[in-house]
């Protein structure tokens, strides 16, 4: 059952997402990891990536981001201690020396625990450009 949500609660969760994106652009693996649950995974066209693997790429410098922006209106739904957040993100990343500009739909599952939101899962889908 979806719980009633206030604008304040939505703003709080979007603030967490914006701070997480800031940590990603700062290429700060420890800060990035602080937004992830230990069991966090990212699902993309490349398969499943664990938090450990993602953060190892950032720590090594093999993966960096120079831009990450939330575009348009997000969709947020609360289900008890869980929140589902879907939004469009544009970003510029460098991986293995190559630049990648991405325009993606992301869906994140957050859990509220111990007074804070942490992300359990991120699903990334490239936008279809005509």
pTM: 0.91
Across the range 67-94, mean pLDDT stands at 96
CATH 3.30.1490.20 is right for the domain spanning 7-126: no
Q: What is the pLDDT of residues 19-30, one digit of tens each?
A: 999 999 999 999
Across the range 4-29, mean pLDDT stands at 92
Q: Return the closest-CA partner of residue 46 out of 88, 95, 87.
A: 95
Residue-averaged pLDDT of the chain: 94
Query: CA–CA separation, 105 vs 48, rounded Å?
Result: 16
Q: In whole angstroms, how far apart are CA 125 and each of 30, 105, 121?
A: 25, 5, 13
Spell out the domain ranges in the chain. Answer: 7-126
Report the run of H or E that residue 59 belongs to, with start and end: helix 51-60
Q: What is the pLDDT of residues 103-124, one digit of tens each?
A: 999 999 999 999 999 999 999 9
């Amino acid at each position: 059952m979806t719980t009633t949500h206030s604008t304040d609660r939505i703003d709080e969760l979007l603030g967490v997402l914006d701070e997480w994106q800031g940590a990603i652009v700062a290429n700060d693996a420890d800060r990035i990891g602080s937004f992830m649950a230990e069991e966090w995974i990212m699902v993309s066209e490349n398969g499943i990536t664990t938090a450990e693997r993602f953060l190892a790429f950032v720590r090594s410098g093999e993966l960096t981001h120079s831009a990450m922006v939330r575009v348009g209106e997000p969709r947020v739904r609360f289900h008890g201690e869980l929140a589902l957040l879907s939004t469009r993100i544009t970003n510029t990343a460098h991986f293995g020396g190559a630049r990648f500009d991405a325009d993606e739909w992301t869906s994140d599952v957050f859990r509220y625990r111990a007074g804070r939101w942490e992300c359990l899962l991120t699903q990334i889908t490239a936008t279809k450009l005509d």
